[in-house]
A and B are shown apart, each in its own frame.
Chain A
């Protein structure tokens, strides 16, 4: 049977067909939909973990227990999971273990564009790289088998175009002849103390040598001879662009990007006149080919930055570009917080208070955008709190009062807790605002340990964030309604003034939560055009439901209007209007 699947759907299907029993992840674009699809298969226990490190540790446990386990994350998630990963290569596995790392060249939805292939080499873990959805399914399945055969975890590298691209996939059946998981003690293999690890390390190195040799004849590495004037070594999505733009060139398509099949590369290089390596981001394959003493062209013509496209590949080879109709520049359309988003009032207050805001990763990073313009730093998941502590260590006592960390509930539980622990422990006077909207919003509304439901939609214990902060030793904890602008600004101002750690927690849910009774739309608001003076105060919150309607006489005059289809009745704009021109339609 054939279906059109995204790369992420196909990876989930591959895990199902491979007999995978456990799938664990923390959401992260472009990897999120993998776990949202493994839940379709009741044979797989799918769960969100608080962060990528925990998700990998859960998968490791499932593997050590004898079951096949999948763990997925975005590229930067591997940084968080790196600690267990680097030792997992030493222990090896019992049940097959596959870690999917989804890279984001071009940073469509990421803070950097690190190349996960380096992790494969660094952590000494073999890595497969599919080039379409069919390969996503096949390679995932194969990675589980090879993982057990070679007693090593396998990584599968995807990228945004692979994970979110869709193509036709031939479905298969789930394997049924796997041994049932049961406990089995093997401390010499699974307890990585120095004595045991010293025994395991040479096995890891030998394994990679064995795999490099076996990879020469594996069908996933494919030598395609066409015109031999140009030979191109490539992998993943780049293979598709090469076939699109240079259809007559010979290709060595690598399905396994670590370890490389050295003998196959030598064979291919000898058959072609000029050798190219075409890969996005780092010269990962190219450097190794050159280290083998083989001349090749790669990063001389392909950028280290951004994603490859057919057009960019054409330019790299000096090929003509198709004619393009010129179009004048249109006003931009950046993403925006939703109408009624409970984050908006907090950033409005921070802007008014001229706070120095150390930010974090989530929808609320959009608080950086005008007109709210209230975020000054954003580095990685959970970093806001540590950065706030650090800033207060160097600036004057007066400036210390300006320092506020802003972090969402999911990000706080991911890696923010440790930062808060440090802030309390080391007596930082900074203020932390936890935007608790009861969901992981940016990646598409995933539940988290504070939302009270699991990925499988089972009710569960919800972490009580105020109590957690109290247990960490925070003395000043204030819970506020972020839709009440006066209260929001007053409480934040009071806590900024306080010369010790304080935490302000907002208590309104994400407007996109569909679960019954969590978010309910209020009565829709409207502008009374008789009372509206055109002062533009309500525009300062940047709500997509409020529109400026110019008077149309060429002057700067005009009035505000509210789109009833978009308005959620949050009431924030009404509080900004000094002329009582905004009210609900009863």
Chain B
């Protein structure tokens, strides 16, 4: 039955093996990995304090010799770059999972209100006396924010059963985000000044304020979520066809959905707890990656969006500090500048925004 192709065809196809779809996927991942390395390097090299390369190299190779360069490098720039990479990959993965689960290219942790839910939870925690940036409270903060995300996600799953139109779901998500944000505003209004200040800075988004303990918590939660999501790898590919096909292919619909919701909520919660509600990375990165990673298989897409998300947030972090001077722009201003056009492109490109 599987007849051998004629030898000439074989020789020609052999010539083009390098350009076959299989290799294009591997190439795309390789390019993303190289971009990520470049992003990490630039983010560490550039900053408001200009440091000569020689000093940086000295600090990098001799971490135990005290010097201003070593201090900046090990206590500020490397944690900041690591946070940006981790937060970007986490949010992008959450966005991918949500887009697949809802079969909605306009889904993402920010537009469907998950980030806002995490924000409300964190605001309540701050009101209750938890200090953002306090060493001992990193786990508590991450857990609180994750519960906030999870609550909104479950609400959106309920909505999605009635609202099958992707744009309709997007609007519902924006409304939920608006409600939670206005509750946060009310809380801000009645809270005390010092709590308010730390919270307002938090809402602008930042990857520069995490301490090593928080970074460790964030990494642990992101890895846990990644394991949960990878356990649903088969299911994710089938979710692209919709709920009925998931059931017909022998996958338990409810438990699969619950694990995916939990995974995406943990990612959004952990990232939002320590970096604030970062907009547009989750929704935009999967689209950017799909443009040149020719696969619908999540075995390719998951590493793709994680590399792409890390790179994009590193680029944003570089731009935040690039204009020179000691001032930092709010991170969210830059992510929106890069991410919003992608969303506009998706809406304009697909008349019927659903897959």
A binds B: no
